[in-house]
A and B are shown apart, each in its own frame.
Chain A
Amino acid sequence: GAVVSQHPSWVICKSGTSVKIECRSLDFQATTMFWYRQFPKQSLMLMATSNEGSKATYEQGVEKDKFLINHASLTLSTLTVTSAHPEDSSFYICSARMVTGLAGADTQYFGPGTRLTVL
């Protein structure tokens, strides 16, 4: 099956530092990836759509200068949380869209998530 990896799986950092999270589709190419965050016992919240070779599309209320997204290749998207603060502590999850070429047959596969704790 399709595999999406994330690195690191967890990270602890000091307030004010920047943290980069990688999302890779291991066995398929993904022109589109998505970044979510999830707080305990809450639903996934879409932050942005990452498009290979172009700028990311951010959801309303998500600061693009704080959450920098780069989709440099068909298998890699990165999310950088800049100047992290304790309120940025959360579970960050990416998904990658697998395009099969058949109408209606696209599927999104999720990475295992990255738990960020900002002290």
Chain B
Amino acid sequence: EDKVVQSPLSLVVHEGDTVTLNCSYEVTNFRSLLWYKQEKKAPTFLFMLTSSGIEKKSGRLSSILDKKELFSILNITATQTGDSAVYLCAGPNFGNEKLTFGTGTRLTIIP
């Protein structure tokens, strides 16, 4: 059975700090790992990672995948209060494409 584990479960930091969120996975026939941000509504897509060692970047957010060690990290630099959200990572199951989600990391940025 596919499994995705995120850590920490919650994180509280001050505005301006840098945070690193972790995601480890065991997904049969792994093809990609997805990161989403969920605020009060539905998840919004952040990154899709397929190759090891290649950093994906979008503004202050970046993410990288290590297929050998089966984990990914999401970095957020110079955090802002708008970064407060639950960050989810997920792996699609090969075949039925169902997403296996991690429990999420609840990030709170204190002004």
Residue A107 CB within 8 A of the other chain: yes
Q: Residue B104 contacts which of A43, A108, A113 (CB distance < 8 angstroms)?
A: A43
Secondary structure of the B contact surface, majority rule: loop
Whole-angstrom CA separation of A82 from B24 in the bound complex:
39
**Nearest-CB distance from A24 to chain B (Å)?**
14
Tell me if B104 and A103 are in contact (CB < 8 A). no
Tell me if A110 and B43 are in contact (CB < 8 A). yes
Residue A56 CB within 8 A of the other chain: no
Tell me if A93 and B50 are in contact (CB < 8 A). no
Tell me if B45 and A1 are in contact (CB < 8 A). yes
Q: Residue B99 contacts which of A1, A91, A103, A108 (CB distance < 8 angstroms)?
A: A108
Tell me if B101 and A43 are in contact (CB < 8 A). yes
Residue B103 CB within 8 A of the other chain: yes
Tell me if A110 and B98 are in contact (CB < 8 A). no
**Nearest-CB distance from A44 to chain B (Å)?**
6
Tell me if A110 and B45 are in contact (CB < 8 A). yes
Whole-angstrom CA separation of A1 from B47 in the bound complex:
12
- Most chain B CB inside 10 Å of its own CB: which residue of A1, A34, A44, A107: A44
**Which bucket holds chain A's interface residue count?**
20 to 34
Chain A 33-72: CB-based contact to B (< 8 A → 1; otherwise 0): 0100000000110100100000001000000000000000
Residue B36 CB within 8 A of the other chain: yes
8 cross-chain pairs, A with B, having the tightest CB-CB distances, nearest first: A104-B31, A113-B42, A110-B42, A93-B42, A104-B50, A104-B32, A110-B43, A107-B48
21 residue pairs A–B, Cβ–Cβ below 8 Å? A1-B45, A2-B45, A34-B98, A43-B101, A44-B88, A44-B101, A46-B98, A49-B97, A49-B98, A93-B42, A97-B97, A104-B31, A104-B50, A105-B48, A107-B32, A108-B34, A108-B92, A108-B97, A110-B36, A112-B42, A113-B41
